[in-house]
């Protein structure tokens, strides 16, 4: 079974429903990363439904934090930044407590959501917290896992940009772009190409 709606019974393909890909408009997290507000709103609605399904069916509860992180990210985009940062922070802390930083890569994406949300709010304390989140991710033992490393390059580039360090930003952005292309990670390639 490969259902495409969160309200349906989720079977073997449920992870694909959640993750899709950054290029797959059917994947819920893919929708959350799309550039249009309409796609992101649709993704947020489906994520909220999916979270409810997981809780009601008492299944996949380890996936609830990443769902919550993306829902909170959309709240931040809608202007509720302070509450959203608290919710994303709590969700990412849950992911790390549950060991999700390695298995399923939820911690990588969750850290990305936290860092981007903090940088969007943009206080000096937010930038410092974003750097600490990146350091926590970098310290996790993953034995050179490419997915973690590509997220680290992206997030470090975003922090360098926020700090106004044009030299570090250009270097990190170039390394990020090269890695995305060498790994053929389409979503990361698109993100890299969208960076100024």
Residues 3 and 72 in one domain: no
Residues 43 and 140 in one domain: no
Cα separation, 41 vs 99, in Å, equals 29
Residues 137 and 189 in one domain: yes
Residues 77 and 167 in one domain: yes
Phi, psi of 74 (to 5 degrees): -70, -35
Q: What is the mean pLDDT of each run of 10 residues along the chain (196 residues)?
A: 34 42 49 69 74 69 72 82 91 78 67 94 97 93 82 97 98 98 90 93
For residue 21, what pLDDT is reported?
A: 40
Residues 68 and 161 in one domain: yes
Residues 80 and 98 in one domain: yes
Range of the domain at 41: 1-59
Residues 46 and 99 in one domain: no
Which CATH number fits the domain that encloses residue 175? 1.25.40.10
pTM as predicted: 0.74
Residues 27 and 81 in one domain: no
Cα separation, 196 vs 186, in Å, equals 18
For residue 105, what pLDDT is reported?
A: 65
For residue 4, what pLDDT is reported?
A: 33
Residues 71 and 134 in one domain: yes
For residue 178, what pLDDT is reported?
A: 98
Residues 38 and 105 in one domain: no
Residues 14 and 90 in one domain: no
Cα separation, 73 vs 81, in Å, equals 8
The separation between the first and the last C-alpha atoms of the chain, rounded to the nearest angstrom, is: 41
Structure token digits, residue 105 = 């890569």
Structure token digits, residue 24 = 């797959």
Domains held by the chain: number: 2
Domain final residue pick, 59, 90, 105? 59
């Amino acid at each position: 079974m490969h259902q495409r709606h969160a309200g349906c019974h989720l079977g073997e393909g449920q992870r694909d429903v959640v993750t899709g890909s950054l290029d797959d408009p059917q994947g819920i997290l893919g929708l959350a990363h799309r550039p249009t507000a309409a796609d992101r709103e649709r993704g947020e609605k489906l994520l909220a439904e999916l979270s409810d399904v997981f809780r009601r069916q008492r299944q996949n509860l380890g996936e609830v934090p990443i769902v919550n992180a993306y829902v909170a990210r959309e709240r931040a985009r809608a202007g509720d930044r302070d509450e959203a940062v608290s919710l994303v922070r709590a969700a990412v802390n849950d992911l790390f407590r549950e060991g999700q930083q390695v298995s399923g890569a939820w911690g990588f994406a969750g850290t990305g959501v936290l860092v981007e949300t903090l940088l969007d709010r943009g206080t000096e304390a937010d930038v410092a917290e974003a750097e600490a989140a990146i350091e926590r991710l970098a310290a996790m033992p993953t034995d050179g896992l490419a997915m973690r490393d590509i997220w680290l390059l992206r997030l470090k580039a975003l922090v360098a940009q926020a700090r106004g360090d044009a030299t570090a930003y250009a270097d990190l952005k170039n390394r990020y772009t090269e890695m995305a292309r060498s790994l053929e990670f389409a979503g990361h390639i698109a993100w890299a190409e969208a960076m100024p």
